Structure 1
Amino acid sequence: MLVLLPPSEGKTAPDSGAPLDLGGLSSPGLTPWREKVLDALVEVSARPDGVATLGVGSSLADEVARNVRLRTSPTAPAAHVYTGVLYAAAGLADLSGEPAALAARSVRVVSALWGLVAPDDAIPAYRLSMGTDLPGVGPLARAWRDALADELDPRAADELVVDCRSAAYLAAWRPTGAPAWVTVRVERELDGKRSVVSHHAKHTRGVLTRHLVTRPGPVPADAEQLAHAAGELVGSELHDVELAPAGRGARVLSLVVR
């Protein structure tokens, strides 16, 4: 099982910790691209127009300035650095024992800066989104595409892919020839009618992620087994679960909330 998450926009900067060691991150095949993107981000962030170039508001100028010090800033496990609604619900930082080991094997964050991040990878807080056209690199989703394919295509050929990413991060890699690729959609049911929601979507995807790595029993290996596992949340976190019929591309797992 491979669970793909988007990063959080907000991040908690570690107060202490070792400086960044790119060679110590998981997926070492991505190191050359990590070096390239990191160098470009540091250079852009030091420019007077860095805030505008990175597409953020002036209120985030301090976070952009912090990018300049990324190679020497303290690091912490990604599960502690990424914060926000999804990560609060997933609680990856609180796991121990076999659930923590399963999360380390199965959960990956698709990142504009690092390409892929495992929950226990030591990273600093940073400001960069996948929709950025980064000078010296280009549009990041396109820049990462081949490198991510080299890393993820072999896993997608053999494992269930549970895709919780947003559209910007989906653009960086789509499985090709994956027998079991499932995107997770969150819907609200009101008066018998369903509509896609965004307010609870991050929370609900986080709840599903935590359930998948903490529930007893075999790890889901296909879409039907994933739907069954998600169905265990009906009555507590969910109102219903619906798996769309197989077709071209990803199957859609709808998690229905009230």
Structure 2
Amino acid sequence: MLVLLPPSETKSPDGDGAPLDLAALATPELTGVRVTLVDALVRLAADPPAARAALGLSPGQDVELARNAALCTSPTTPAIERYTGVLYDVLGVRSMTRAQRARADRRLAVGSALFGLARATDPIPAYRLSAGSALPGLPTLRALWRPVLGPALTAAGELVVDLRSGSYQALAPVRGAVTVDVRSERPDGTRTVVSHANKSHKGRVARLLATTTAEPDSAVRLRTLLRRAGLHVEHDGGTALTLVLPAA
């Protein structure tokens, strides 16, 4: 099972690993696009006004430009520890047992605008690039990633659970992937999209899938696993699961 997580804008500045080595990252068929984007970000960082415009940053966020400028020289840390925020707080890889962490390292990966796919153990630096960014002189990120990332994910040869947000799913849809939508149900039965707590609930699902000793290989078995964990999960027979929560 491969669980695809959304990235976060916020990233830990920590790291004591060797500088970025793109050739050493998993999924080597993505190396060409990774090289193109890393080179483009480093060059762009030398022109702060252009970089701010391309990345949607304010002058007060120039620390992000400094991180991009140092992409090839700054220390790295495993991808699953690089990203921060609500989902990653709930996922809590640092609180896992050794056996749980080993399973998480095998199963988790992050959809990334810069790296395409960052496996949990891939050593990466802090950076700033979002799925909606448009880099000067390059095609859209979707045009760059879709031809190589889509086939790489489809060829994973295992059940893919896609928890990425819509903008990252658009970079490379995965045929047959199981998705999880989060809905809030009011007492009258009407439902609404969960926005504020969506990341928290997906973090809970991600932790469960990362640490379970089970090996679900279909949407049906995944639904059963989540239900046994006490979650209200509905399945219409396709590859989409709906996690239903009572309205606050």
Partner Cα separation in structure 1 for residue 155 and residue 198 of structure 2: 29
Q: Once the 2 structures are TM-superposed, how far is the Cα of residue 229 of structure 1 from its aligned partner?
A: 1.0
Matched residue, 2:163: 164
1:141 touches 1:168 (CA, 8 Å); kept in 2? no
- Which 10-residue stretch deviates more, 8-17 or 78-87? 8-17
Q: Does 1:227 align with 2:217?
A: no
Q: Once the 2 structures are TM-superposed, how far is the Cα of residue 96 of structure 1 from its aligned partner?
A: 4.4
- Unaligned 5+ segments in structure 2 are none
1:61-104 CA-to-partner distances (Å, cap 9, x unmatched) read 22122210110011111121100011111123443433323222
Letter in 2 for 1:175: V
Pairing of 1:31-110 with structure 2 (within 5 A): 31-49=31-49, 50-110=51-111
1:117-169 CA-to-partner distances (Å, cap 9, x unmatched) read 011111111111011111232211221111102311212xx422211011110
Letter in 1 for 2:235: L
TM-score after normalising by structure 1:
0.89
Q: Once the 2 structures are TM-superposed, how far is the Cα of residue 185 of structure 1 from its aligned partner?
A: 0.6
Q: Once the 2 structures are TM-superposed, how far is the Cα of residue 214 of structure 1 from its aligned partner?
A: 1.5
Matched residue, 2:131: 130
- Which 10-residue stretch deviates more, 194-203 or 17-26? 17-26
Matched residue, 1:213: 210
- Unaligned 5+ segments in structure 1 are none
TM-score after normalising by structure 2:
0.92
> Helix, strand or coil: the match of 2:179?
strand
Letter in 1 for 2:179: T
Matched residue, 2:245: 257
Q: Once the 2 structures are TM-superposed, how far is the Cα of residue 175 of structure 1 from its aligned partner?
A: 2.2
1:112 touches 1:128 (CA, 8 Å); kept in 2? yes
> Helix, strand or coil: the match of 2:56?
coil
Q: Once the 2 structures are TM-superposed, how far is the Cα of residue 15 of structure 1 from its aligned partner?
A: 5.0
Letter in 2 for 1:241: V
1:186 touches 1:200 (CA, 8 Å); kept in 2? no
1:78 touches 1:118 (CA, 8 Å); kept in 2? yes
1:4 touches 1:161 (CA, 8 Å); kept in 2? yes
Letter in 2 for 1:42: V
1:142 touches 1:171 (CA, 8 Å); kept in 2? no
Matched residue, 2:191: 194
Q: Once the 2 structures are TM-superposed, how far is the Cα of residue 233 of structure 1 from its aligned partner?
A: 2.9
Cα RMSD of the aligned pairs, angstroms, is 1.6
Letter in 2 for 1:226: L
Pairing of 1:175-194 with structure 2 (within 5 A): 175-176=174-175, 178=176, 181-191=177-187, 192-194=189-191
Partner Cα separation in structure 2 for residue 96 and residue 69 of structure 1: 33
In the comparison of the two structures, how many residue pairs are matched? 244
Partner Cα separation in structure 2 for residue 66 and residue 162 of structure 1: 31
Partner Cα separation in structure 2 for residue 118 and residue 11 of structure 1: 16
Partner Cα separation in structure 1 for residue 96 and residue 20 of structure 2: 23
